[in-house]
Structure 1
Amino acid sequence: MRVYLPSTLPGLARVAKAGELGPAPLTGFAVTPSLIEWYVSGDTEELEYVALTEAARASLRMLAVDRADGVPVPPRRVVVAAEVPDSAVSVGQDLEERARVRLSQPVPLATMASVHVDDEEAAADIEAAIAALPAADQGDDDAQFTVDGAEAHELMWYATQEIPDLLS
């Protein structure tokens, strides 16, 4: 199963050093039966894009948590796409996050298909979205508009062999 795992650039550096994304359990996003049922008219590629977008939203939240903890993390969302055995994936019944899955084992670098990262040009919008998250969570429509603005930026695609160059 193709799973999209949220991360950050420091998290990706840890993956490169350790040779895996972990420890388990991990939260990821995938094309689940619930997502297929909800997004009736979509083909597999569209559904995978929805899962990727959900993972990018989770990456934004990871950035916000790191910043709140005083970690100087670059304002770039990161999503790792990996092929994971179905037996390692459990699908929840969360109707709000239909694509959410849990992985019961770490994800080896060798099973990663690609990495998706914001271009540096997105930094200002990502910074604004990080700052607006608390107000958006409280129902502020203007703040939610700012958070949604981060999604206007398409994540760049990188092969796993490009991870060292991406991190330098």
Structure 2
Amino acid sequence: MRVYLPSTLAALGRVLADGELGPAPLAGHAVTPALIEWYVSGDTEELEYVALTEAARSSLRMLAADLADGVDVPPRRVVLAAEVPDARVKAGVDLEERSWVRLAEPVPLSKIVSAHVDDPAAEDDVMAAIDALPAADGGDDDALFVVDGAEAHELMWYATQELPDLVRWREDKG
């Protein structure tokens, strides 16, 4: 099963250093029976895009938590796509989180097939979305509009051999 795992560039650096994404349990997004039922007219590609988009929203929250904790990380959403055996994926039952899945084990780096990452040009909009999250969660429509603005940026696709180049941002700051 293709699972979309939210991340950040700092977390991606740890994945590359450790050789796996963990520790478990891990929350991710995938094409689940609930998502298929909800999005009846969608083909597999459309359903995977929905799961990817949900993972990007989760990445935004990870970025907000990292920045609140003082972690030095660029405001760019990161989603890691991995191939995980179906038996290791447990789908959620929450109707609001139709694509939500839980993995009980870490994901080896060898199972990650690609990364989807914001272009640096998206950083201002992603930062604005991070700042607007608390108000958006409180129901503020203007703040929700700002959060949704980050989604106007399509995530760029990266092959696994390009992942080390993505985490070199720390060296480039030098």
* Letter aligned with residue 82 of structure 1: A
Mapped to 1, the partners of 2:162 and 2:68 lie a distance apart of: 30
Give 1:3's aligned residue. Answer: 3
Mapped to 1, the partners of 2:123 and 2:71 lie a distance apart of: 16
TM-score (norm 1): 0.99
* Letter aligned with residue 127 of structure 1: M
Aligned partner of residue 139 in structure 1, secondary structure: coil
* RMSD (CA atoms): 0.6
Give 1:57's aligned residue. Answer: 57
Aligned partner of residue 66 in structure 2, secondary structure: helix
Mapped to 1, the partners of 2:37 and 2:79 lie a distance apart of: 24
Trace 1:1-168 onto structure 2 (pairs within 5 A).
Answer: 1-168=1-168
Mapped to 1, the partners of 2:17 and 2:44 lie a distance apart of: 32
Deviation at 1:72, TM superposition (A): 2.3
Report runs of 4+ in structure 1 exceeding 2 Å deviation.
Answer: none
Q: Write out per-residue CA displacement over residues 63-119 of structure 1, whole angstroms, 9 at most, x where no aligned residue.
A: 011111122221000000000011111011110010000001110111111000000
Higher mean Cα deviation, 64-73 or 97-106? 64-73
Mapped to 2, the partners of 1:66 and 1:13 lie a distance apart of: 14
Aligned partner of residue 96 in structure 1, secondary structure: helix
* Letter aligned with residue 90 of structure 1: K
Aligned partner of residue 126 in structure 2, secondary structure: helix
Mapped to 2, the partners of 1:65 and 1:110 lie a distance apart of: 27
* Structure 2 unaligned residues grouped into runs of 5+: 169-174
Mapped to 1, the partners of 2:58 and 2:71 lie a distance apart of: 17
% identical aligned pairs: 76
**Number of aligned residues:** 168
Q: Write out per-residue CA displacement over residues 128-147 of structure 1, whole angstroms, 9 at most, x where no aligned residue.
A: 00000000000000000000
Mapped to 1, the partners of 2:62 and 2:165 lie a distance apart of: 22
Mapped to 2, the partners of 1:39 and 1:32 lie a distance apart of: 11
* Letter aligned with residue 137 of structure 1: D
Aligned partner of residue 94 in structure 2, secondary structure: coil
